[in-house]
Structure 1
Amino acid sequence: MASNRQNDRETRQARERLRAYQARQTVHETRAKRRVRDNWIAGGAVLIVVVLAVATQLLYFAQPGTPSASGSPSATPTPSVSATPTPSASASAQTYTLPPKTLAGNRNWTGTLSINGIPLGVELDGSTAPQAVSSTIALTQKGFYNGLNCHRLTTGGFYVLQCGDPKGDGTGGPGYAYGPIENAPKDNVYPAGTLAMARQSDNANSQGSQFFIVYKDTTIPSDSAGGYTVLGKVTTGLDELISKVTDKGVQGGGTDGKPAVTTTIDSFTLQ
């Protein structure tokens, strides 16, 4: 009898151990399944966040008027992949006639471009950019530039001060547009002091009265139309323009917009 009771007790203990093991195993399996489920939920959440972030970025960069993802310069009033100064052919209050390119006389022209009381000595090359120089000569002779504001300054990786728009917003011109592009640098490098004509993106025949002064060495990539017509150069006064105008930055602290210091052409003379 004692032997039977001992066997029964051992059997009950074995069953209890089995039940305890099975209970622990069930808890373990439940926890394991819960971890797998939680991992899937967490992974799904991360994926959703990533997808939403990518979609938001794509939507942002697809909006007209926002900077491109590359952050290089553009030929529109905002910096983008082709960014350089851009005028339209729209007329000013008074319209002018494009002079023949022979006006430049195939020679160098010297003069003074006075901005905010800063006399910039300039030299234009009528032999390498005859049409652009002829247009500029004709406009200066008629006092076109006197009193116009320089409406655009860029500081974010390319460095230009853009002037010559009678509307003051990048859309004005003398009432005519012309081409072709002349004397554009083959390596797309515009040294400090370069005077060059602004134009619309991908449009060689959209030059008018707007020009830009490169105040630090700048690389401006060509677009489908090519580079930008180099008129000539600033020979003196650039350091003062930098310290008194361009170093003051852009209104609102951006990298492309109106100069923080109101910038006006006092006069532009050539001879």
Structure 2
Amino acid sequence: MAAAPGRDREAQERLRRYQARQTVHETKIRRRRRDNVIAVLALVVVGALAATAQVVYFTAGPGAPEPVASASPEPTVEPVAAPAPALSEFRTWAGTVTINDAIELDYELDGLAAPQAVASFVTLVQSGFYDGLSCHRLTTEGIFVLQCGDPNGDGTGGPDWRFGPIENPPLDDIYTEGVIAMARQGGDGASMGSQFFIVYADSAIPSDAAGGYTIMGRVTGGLDALLEQVIAEGAANGAPDGPPAVATVITGVTIQ
């Protein structure tokens, strides 16, 4: 017996409604999968950017920025050899750094652990190189250092020589309060000159491709005065990394 026309139309209508619901359902599934993929990709990108920012922040300092390319060729200058490590006499040196004619930082240098850095520093002190130079960089987040010793006052200068390799870095990348270490360019262990940094609170400073930073000595007295008169005021404009808010000038250095 043939099916009634009304029943055929009803069956066809049910089939169309079922197919429509299936289409809507499949569209929702595709959209949900697409949204999940987009969300995962966004998290990956955000994570990568955050990791990159952290690496850049820590490995950028303490040190000098990369030199900026000049439109005109630089004259060829013959490199000057750094003072021989033997000038450190492989012994302990002691002295005082006076800042702003008011703060006296007593320090010791370890000529046995870092003979090249100590030989360079002693030579510069004895020549009066540091007198009148500023401490141009103070960091107050992540790492806690005051960086000094640049004749240009902006992190780009130094003496006529550069030296390396890195000496006496900490094995665990922890630079303890009072440490005096040499600044350098990121990834270049032979870029040390006159710039040094004083660690005023324990700091984890990750090693880079060149390694860590040369620890040449430590502050043995006067750090409290530096904290009260300079560090407590922070960096200029409240920035976490920049020139000290209080002008900080080396007004004398002794060594013996």
TM-score strictly above 0.5: yes
Larger radius of gyration: 1
CA distance in 1, matches of 2:237, 2:42: 30
TM-score by length of 2: 0.76
**TM-superposed deviation, 1:240:** 2.7
1:29 to 1, 19, 27: 19
Could you tell me which residue of structure 2 aligns to residue 85 of structure 1? 62
- Within the candidate set 143, 148, 159, 1:174 is matched to 159
Match of 2:76 in 1: none
Aligned-pair distance for 1:46? 5.0
2:141 matched residue in structure 1: 156
Q: Does the aligned pair in 1 maintain the 2:144–2:199 contact within 8 Å?
A: yes
Distance in 2 between the 1:112 and 1:69 partners? 39
- Calculate the aligned-residue CA RMSD, in Å: 3.4
SS of residue paired to 2:52: coil
- 1:214 corresponds in structure 2 to 199
Residue 54 of structure 2, aligned match among 64, 71, 74: 71
**Unaligned regions of 5+ residues in structure 1, if any?**
1-10, 62-66, 73-77
Residue 193 (structure 1) aligned with residue 170 (structure 2): no
SS of 1:113's partner is strand
Q: 1:106 aligns with which of 75, 90, 97?
A: 90
Q: Which runs of 5+ in 2 are unaligned?
A: 68-78
Aligned-pair CA distance for 1:136: 1.3
Q: Could you report, residue by residue, the CA deviation over 1:127-165 in whole angstroms, capped at 9, with x for unpaired residues?
A: 332222222122122222222222222333322211111
1:8 is aligned to none
> Quick one: percent identity of the two aligned structures?
45
Question: How many residues were matched structurally?
Answer: 242
Structure 1 CA distance, aligned partners of 2:65 and 2:23?
A: 66
Q: Residue deviations 1:44-101, cap 9 Å, x none?
A: 355346546756876xx5xxxxx852725xxxxx524x444223798xxxx9874333
CA distance change for structure 1 residues 250 and 32 in 2, over 3 Å: closer, same or farther?
farther
In 2: Cα distance, 1:47 partner to 1:89 partner? 39
Q: Is the Cα–Cα contact under 8 Å of residues 166 and 213 in structure 2 kept in the other structure?
A: yes
Task: Return closer, same or farther for 1:194/1:56 CA change in 2, 3 Å cut-off.
Answer: closer
Q: For 1:34 and 1:179, locate their aligned partners in 2 and report how far apart those are by CA, in whole Å.
A: 68
SS of residue paired to 2:57: coil
1:40 corresponds to which residue?
A: 30
Q: 1:89–1:173: 8 Å Cα contact kept in structure 2? A: no
1: distance between equivalents of 2:237 and 2:47?
A: 24
**Is 2:66–2:185's contact at 8 Å kept on the other side of the alignment?**
no
1:130-145 equivalences under 5 Å are 130-145=115-130
Q: How far apart, in 2, do the equivalents of 1:206 and 1:32 lie? A: 68
Q: When the two structures are superposed, what TM-score results if normalisation uses the length of structure 1? A: 0.73
Q: SS state of the match for residue 79, structure 1?
A: helix
